[in-house]
Chain A
Amino acid sequence: MRILGLYNYWIFIILMMCGFYVVISSGNLIKKLVGLNIFQTSVFILYISMGKIIGGTAPIVIDKAVVYSNPLPHVLILTAIVVGIATTSLGLALVVRIHEAYGTIEEDEIHAQDQEDAL
């Protein structure tokens, strides 16, 4: 039962591995970015779930509350989300430029064109 009780961490690990696998296995530059996004999002879940305390309320000082959730990890991950958006948009901008320069976004075709240039 303890294993099931930690389901949020299981989701984190499964998502992380899915994202990581897509980044490594996919040859399409856009799909790689999708994988990277899933990978980053899994870490958001890790941070968010570690701030949660069972029975805790929002961290506002009110009379009846005794236990509060920890707001710090949530704030931290807000920063990481912003970083994730910046990374994705920069990555997509690069893919647009790569498509203009090579006419394709498939990794093996780009590689083949580079090999031809080298000859």
Chain B
Amino acid sequence: MIAHLPALQVIIPLVSAPLCALLPAGRAVWLAAMAASWLAFLIAVLLLDQVLAHGPISYLMGGWPVPWGIEYRVDVLNAYVLLIVATIGAVVMSFGRIIVERRIRLPESKQSWFYTAYLLCLTGLLGITITGDAFNVFVFLEISSLSSYVLISIGRDRRALTASYQYLIMGTIGATFILIGIGLLYVMTGTLNMADLAARIPAVADTRTVRAAFAFLTIGVSLKLALFPLHLWLPNAYAYAPSVVTALLAATATKVAVYVLLRFFFTIFGAKFSFETMQLDKILLPLALVGIFSASVVAIFQSNVKRMLAYSSVAQIGYMILGISLVSVTGLTAGIVHLFNHALMKGALFMALGCVSFRVGAARLDRMAGVGRVMPWTMGAFVIGGLSLIGVPLTAGFVSKWYLIVGAMEKGWWPVAVLVLVTSLLAVIYIWRVVEVAYFKPVPEGQAVREAPLALLIPTWALALANLYFGLDPSLNAGVARHAAEMLLGVGQ
């Protein structure tokens, strides 16, 4: 059983997905989906534990030897990303039932399909992360993308439909670019296995085909991870999707795309080719900085709080890319640890917003007057998530900002460090706008708003407390991230 954990990680949600479609709507289907997502979480914990104790795991699908068969390869980096995805998948699922029953525009007979799409999305994300085969990445990418288009389109607002359509177009272009890149690599090397590709690319690295493959992969993955200026699909998709879906996607989908970026540029092409020959950092760094700055400024002017946090996500992705483009152990650690921390903070924030819109009816700023007093627990979680987003000491967000600034200082890049601090202040402004309205504006007359139900509050607070825990004891998130960064750069082993 233990030997098959890598396969089970993907197969359990994959098989549970059609199973959920067969169950009647209500508690039963939710419990089945819960069982699947918490099992996936348990497996991710066991995998990370095994990898930390015994080193990378290689699992051969169907017993076919590499490079002919598909290999699932789990090392520190993807065990860590698996844990993030599975944790968020399970916590958000716990949060999901009431929202699905009362807040989603689906007739009761179709509600089971929500869980099918959710589990397929989770399958895709876990699959992208665990596989050691480049073409398999594309297949799982499409599984997760197609199901996320469905999930976004069931938002209450009709703009959810156009947002989903827009994402479909952009996402398909991105995925097709990745497909072209993988195809060109296959032409040159005759293999799809990632480790095998890494071994064979250096011999043919100085050809136009490999450079074209590199370019296609860069653009394709950047579209998927919503790197500025390829982020245009993201704000609407996050703003109009149901809150459960936004919490899942914001905390996992872009993180997995960042993981794909790391895997392709560091493991397959190698840091030397990506950053010395192709000089990718010279493109990523300015884009990351402009993205952080402009998205933070735009976030300040949003009246829809969900949309505000979506723009903030674009900025946070910028921080991760900034860390990566420093190409040093500290910089990479910052990027990778921010994957983890951003999943926690955005998960908590979007779930808290889900609680608010569950009671108030919408996540608009003008509807949130005084909710801090009538929904103290919900807004408490929101404030903790917000503090973590800003990067206040004792929260998880501080850990990532710390590594990022140290990484920039190591290179002597003072302006970059200053910009990180300034944009953190921009985050203070947009979080403060919500806090001000929620706590200092009077509750409108005749508005009977109560605290959100416990079924929503418990998962929200679980993530909010995780933000505090990992701020006080960063040995898991930062420790493992450092380990992964050293592995990617091939130092310190």
Interface contact A43-B176, CB-CB below 8 Å: yes
Q: How large is the interface on A (under 10, 10 to 19, 20 to 34, 35 or more residues)?
A: 20 to 34
Instruction: State how many angstroms separate the Cβ of B245 from the closest Cβ of chain A.
Output: 15
Residue B187 at the A interface, CB < 8 A? yes
Assess whether A90 is in contact with B176, with CB atoms less than 8 Å apart: no
Select B165's contact among A20, A79, A98, beta carbons within 8 Å: A98
In whole angstroms, what is the CA distance A36 to B153 when docked?
19
Q: Find residues 1-55 in chain A having any chain B CB closer than 8 Å to their own CB.
A: 20, 23, 29, 32, 36, 39-40, 43, 46-47, 50
> Does B71 make an interface contact (CB < 8 A)?
no
C-alpha spacing A98/B165, complex, angstroms: 9
B179 within 8 A of A: yes
User: Which among B138, B142, B161, B175 is the interface contact of A97 at CB below 8 angstroms?
Assistant: B161
Contact A101 B176, beta carbon cutoff 8 Å: no
Taking the closest CB of chain B, its distance from the CB of A87, in whole angstroms, is 5
The verdict on B376 contacting chain A, using a C-beta distance below 8 Å, is no
User: Are A90 and B139 within 8 A (Cβ)?
Assistant: no
Residues A39 and B176 in contact, CB atoms below 8 Å apart = yes
Q: Which of B149, B153, B172 has the most CB of A within 10 A?
A: B172
Known contacts A50-B187, A90-B149; A40/B165 CB under 8 A: no
B165: A residues at CB distance < 8 A:
29, 91, 94-95, 98
Interface string of A76-119 (1 = CB under 8 A from B): 10011001001100110011011001100000001000100000
B146 and A86: CB pair below 8 A?
yes
Assess the A46–B180 pair: CB atoms within 8 A: yes
Q: Quick check: is B162 within 8 A (CB to CB) of the other chain?
A: yes
Tell me the bound Cα distance from A47 to B158 in angstroms.
38
Q: Which chain A positions have C-beta within 8 A of B186?
A: 50, 73
Q: At the interface, yes or no: B57 with Cβ under 8 Å from chain A?
A: no
Within 8 Å CB of B180, what residues of A? Answer: 43, 46
B135 contacts partner chain A, Cβ-Cβ < 8 Å: yes
In this complex, how many residues of chain B approach chain A with their Cβ under 8 Å: the count is 25
B159 touches A114 (CB 8 A): yes
A101 & B158 in contact (Cβ 8 Å cutoff): yes
| Interface set, chain B 155-197, CB cutoff 8 A to A | 158-159, 161-162, 164-165, 168-169, 172-173, 175-176, 179-180, 183, 186-187
Taking a contact as CB atoms under 8 Å apart, the answer to whether B169 and A23 are in contact is: yes
Nearest neighbor of B154 in chain A, beta-carbon distance:
A97
Bound-state Cα–Cα, A80 to B175, Å: 10
Q: Which residues of A contact B168 (CB under 8 A)?
A: 87, 90-91, 94
A43 touches B183 (CB 8 A): yes
Closest chain B residue to A32, Cβ basis: B169
Q: With A and B bound together, what is the CA distance between A46 and B175 in angstroms?
A: 15
The contact of A40 among B139, B161, B172, by CB within 8 Å, is B172
Contacts of B135 in A (CB 8 A): 76, 79
| Cross-interface CB contact of B153 among A20, A40, A73, A97, cutoff 8 Å | A97
Within 8 A of A (CB), among B258-299: none
Q: Which among A20, A29, A87, A114 has the highest number of chain B CB atoms within 10 Å?
A: A87
Which of A43, A50, A83 contacts B142, CB < 8 Å? A83
The list of the 7 closest CB pairs from A to B, nearest first, reads: A101-B158, A83-B142, A94-B165, A98-B161, A50-B187, A97-B161, A87-B172
Given contacts A20-B173, A40-B172, 9 further A-B contacts (CB under 8 A): A23-B169, A39-B176, A43-B176, A50-B183, A76-B135, A90-B146, A90-B149, A90-B150, A91-B169
Chain B residues within CB distance 8 Å of chain A: 135, 138-139, 142, 146, 149-150, 153, 158-159, 161-162, 164-165, 168-169, 172-173, 175-176, 179-180, 183, 186-187
Q: List 24 A-B contacts (CB under 8 A).
A: A20-B173, A29-B165, A36-B173, A39-B173, A40-B172, A40-B176, A43-B176, A43-B183, A46-B180, A83-B139, A83-B142, A83-B146, A86-B146, A87-B146, A87-B168, A87-B172, A90-B168, A91-B165, A91-B168, A97-B153, A97-B161, A98-B162, A101-B161, A102-B158
